[in-house]
Chain A
């Protein structure tokens, strides 16, 4: 399917476990982003990537690792999950050649850390 997809959509994990959230887009957008949504904070940027093999930290990167070996994929890994990482995670992409700055969001992954 065309667009941007995230998997899994729901995940429950235990404190200390490693978990990877997947993000895949079919547009070949060079920019991709990970945000987390928490009550009272809106969406906050975790990491972003300007192209394959280029990533940079956002506002709340601690405890997260990203990689981008292929343009279409941008996985987010929680190396040792903590309860404070319980959140809804959104992946997004953008075409930098379009001067609209509009981002396209995936459906989100609801992660619960017990």
Chain B
């Protein structure tokens, strides 16, 4: 069975601080995809990144970076120099090739204080 754990329910930081959102996953498949979505206060789901299980290279996109470690089954997300606009709920999700739907973690609410 698949499972995604986001142990941090809520994180509060002050603007310009760096923050890391943790994601730990479980799957029996060797081929799978991991995702991060952002849900701002307006409620829509915004796709941030997709990573397949064969690509362990870390990725950086502006202030966002992702650290994928198969050895620890983790796919952590770091925001550098956080901004108030980063305040949102962030979801980590997993799909393996044997399934069709995403399995989501419970989400981490990030509050960035000015």
Binding site for B on A (CB under 8 A): 31, 33, 35, 40-45, 48, 50, 58, 88, 90, 94, 96, 100-103, 105, 107-108, 110
Could you tell me the dominant secondary structure of chain A's interface residues? strand
Q: Give 19 A-B pairs besides A40-B106, A42-B6, A58-B101 with Cβ atoms closer than 8 angstroms.
A: A31-B100, A33-B102, A42-B105, A43-B102, A45-B102, A45-B103, A48-B101, A50-B100, A90-B45, A94-B100, A96-B100, A101-B50, A101-B95, A101-B97, A102-B35, A105-B44, A105-B45, A108-B45, A110-B43
* A45 touching B101, Cβ below 8 Å: yes
> Which residue of B is nearest A110, CB measured?
B43
> Which residue of B is nearest A31, CB measured?
B100
Could you tell me the dominant secondary structure of chain B's interface residues? loop
Closest 10 CB pairs of A and B: A42-B104, A105-B45, A43-B104, A42-B106, A45-B101, A101-B33, A101-B95, A42-B107, A107-B44, A48-B101
- B25 in the interface (beta carbon within 8 A): no
Number of interface residues of B (CB under 8 A): 22
**Which among A42, A45, A88 is the interface contact of B43 at CB below 8 angstroms?**
A88
